[in-house]
Amino acid sequence: MARGTQHRKRRPRTNARVAPATARVGAASRPSWENQLFFGRLRRHGRWIFISLAVAFILSFVLLGVGSGSTGISDVISNLLNGSSSTGSSLSSLREATVKHPKDATDWLNYATKLEEDQQDQTAITALTHYTTLRPKDQDALLELAGLYLTRANAWETLYENSAAVQEALAPGPLLSAKSTTPLGKAFSSLTNPVDTAISTEVGANTSNEYEQVIIYLEDRLNVYQKLVNQNPAVAVNQYSLAQAAQDAGNTKVALKAYEAFVKLAPSDSLAPTARQEIASLKASGG
């Protein structure tokens, strides 16, 4: 507006006289109906309107995520909900649902799923076992349960291997042990035996417990696959999985039977040669 006014002031007087009279009409002389129009109000309140538009843009960018590739405030709400669930509130509500409705299979499945997401595998096994009791023919849930058992077995196997390595390292080798009948051997034995005995006892107990846990989880996994095969004995992949689970648990009899069933059901399968080799190996070992 200011530049337009200056431009008119710089024009020659002759041009100013030629210009229509309406061009010199100011805001004060405009009709009242024109002042009510949008652009009329914009001229009078332009500063505050532009400020309002800027604030609206900022709020839309931050809250609604305009131009950011996100859903804005929905992401914020989602993050808040996820944060509360990660701290246990959502997990608590799911657990309470199973307490209130102990025979509702859906509640148990939701609870088990959340426990798995939070990497609470042991509690997830308990919840999923309860679910499979209510829904014993849910094949996917049984497979998920078998996978959890294998995960726990692997975790305990890692602990077992570490403890076994420590126990082996603590055992004196033949090059480091002096004969117990020699003076050096007697002195060395009197100094080290109490410590070695205490450490070896503790490590040995841990090793034994960890190995036992591995076997327990592998047997539980075997039981799950036996349920799957009992429900659908004609599913070749279940037979093969049962054979592997039985081998891992040390049950060669079940493994041999499952491998033979697999070869019979899928003789041209890509795993058939491996199954035949395992059959021959198990028979050779007396399985």
Q: What percent of the chain has pLDDT over 90?
A: 51
Give yes or no for a contact between 153 and 214, defined as CB atoms under 8 angstroms apart: yes
Can you point out the beta strands (E) in 49-158?
none
- pLDDT tier, 152 (very low <50, low <70, confident <90, very high otherwise): very high
Question: Which of 59-63, 174-178, 191-195, 270-274 has the largest mean confidence?
Answer: 270-274
- The token pair at 263 is 């070869």
Question: Which of 28-42, 78-92, 146-160 has the largest mean confidence?
Answer: 146-160
Residue 251 falls in which region: left (phi positive, over 0), alpha (psi -120 to 50) or beta: beta
Only one residue has tokens 């491998």, namely 259
Q: How far apart are CA 26 and CA 29, in angstroms?
A: 5
Give yes or no for a contact between 153 and 218, defined as CB atoms under 8 angstroms apart: yes
**Which own/partner contact pairs does 130-133 have at CB distance under 8 Å and 24+ positions apart?**
130/98, 131/105
Alpha carbon separation from 53 to 35, 37, 44, 45, 56 (Å, rounded): 21, 18, 16, 12, 5
Look over the chain and give the mean of its residue pLDDT values, rounded to a whole number: 76
Q: What percent of the chain has pLDDT over 70?
A: 57
Give yes or no for a contact between 220 and 147, defined as CB atoms under 8 angstroms apart: no
Q: How far apart are CA 9 and CA 61, in angstroms?
A: 43
Give yes or no for a contact between 263 and 275, defined as CB atoms under 8 angstroms apart: yes
Residue 74 falls in which region: left (phi positive, over 0), alpha (psi -120 to 50) or beta: alpha
pLDDT the model gives residue 260 = 98
Alpha carbon separation from 131 to 111, 232, 262 (Å, rounded): 10, 19, 29
CB atoms within 10 A of CB 82: 11
pLDDT (tens digit per residue) in 171-190: 655 444 555 566 656 555 55
pLDDT the model gives residue 268 = 96
**Over residues 35-62, mean pLDDT:** 59
CA-wise closest residue to 121 among 82, 98, 150: 150
Q: What is the DSSP letter of 172?
A: P
| 15 against 234, higher pLDDT | 234
pLDDT the model gives residue 11 = 47
Q: At what angle do helices 139-170 and 183-231 cross, to 10 degrees?
A: 170
| Residue 269 pLDDT exceeds 80 | yes
pLDDT (tens digit per residue) in 76-103: 444 444 444 434 448 999 999 999 999 9
